[in-house]
Amino acid sequence: MGKMIFVNLPVKDLSRSVEFFGKLGFTFNQQFTDENATAMEIDKDNGIYAMLLVEPFFKGFTKKEIADATKTTEAIVALGLESRAAVDELADKALASGGSPANEPMDEGYMYGRSFQDPDGHQWEVMWMDPSAVEPS
């Protein structure tokens, strides 16, 4: 097994979150889905997932209070997409499916991005960057 990333997000209503992200085209690994959580596949081939956990279950993984994402920002989840059109498509789907705007679109020519908040207030940034603008390291 190679490296994987699991972004864990608390949600108030798991069914509502699954419906919202399903409308955006995300799928869910049923092996890791029950009444407390689901593994949303962001990029299954590269091992990138968002674990959507109902708040009481999420609370079992931390001694800290859970941030109310509708009032505070603890993290911004950023997704790089393959084109400007893909950025617009995902952001438009999010807004049409119950998401809300987060920031104004950003257009630097070589980099383009839009943002939205999911129904629990988590901020998502979707962006495209021209590969020729990024120098190999």
**Is there a contact between 66 and 8 (Cβ–Cβ < 8 Å)?**
no
DSSP reduced 3-state for 103: coil
Architecture of domain 73-137: Roll (3.10)
The per-residue pLDDT string of the chain (137 residues; one tens digit each, 9 = 90 and over) reads 678 999 999 999 999 999 999 999 999 999 999 999 999 999 999 999 999 999 999 999 999 999 999 999 989 999 999 999 999 999 999 999 999 999 999 999 999 999 999 999 999 999 999 988 876 66
Domain residue limits, the chain: 1-63, 73-137
Nearest to 19 by CA among 133, 127, 118: 118
pTM for the model stands at 0.89
Domain 1-63: which CATH number of 3.10.180.10, 3.40.1280.10, 3.40.190.80, 3.90.550.10: 3.10.180.10
Q: Of 14, 33, 26, which is closest to residue 77 (Cα–Cα)? A: 26
Q: Would you state the structure tokens that stand for residue 102, as one six-digit string?
A: 């987060």
